[in-house]
Amino acid sequence: MAYKITDSCVACGTCMGECPSGAISEGDIYKIDPEVCVDCGTCADACPMGAIVAE
């Protein structure tokens, strides 16, 4: 199960720096590639907005 980034994302970049697999890409709202995500949850723990949830 991959994680996903919700509309609460403010594109601060915190999650991108924490992702060990490089699954997160930049944008107005960041996105997680489910094919690359290793389901570790590090991004969700790091997100100051609580915008990342298990899918």
> What confidence score (pLDDT) does residue 2 get?
87
Q: List the pLDDT tens digit at each of the 55 positions of the chain.
A: 789 999 999 999 999 999 999 999 999 999 999 999 999 999 999 999 999 999 8
> What confidence score (pLDDT) does residue 32 get?
97
Which domains does the chain possess? Answer: 3-54 (3.30.70.20)
> What confidence score (pLDDT) does residue 55 get?
86
CB 37 within 8 A of CB 21: yes
Distance (Å, whole) CA 20 – CA 47: 15
CB 51 within 8 A of CB 6: yes
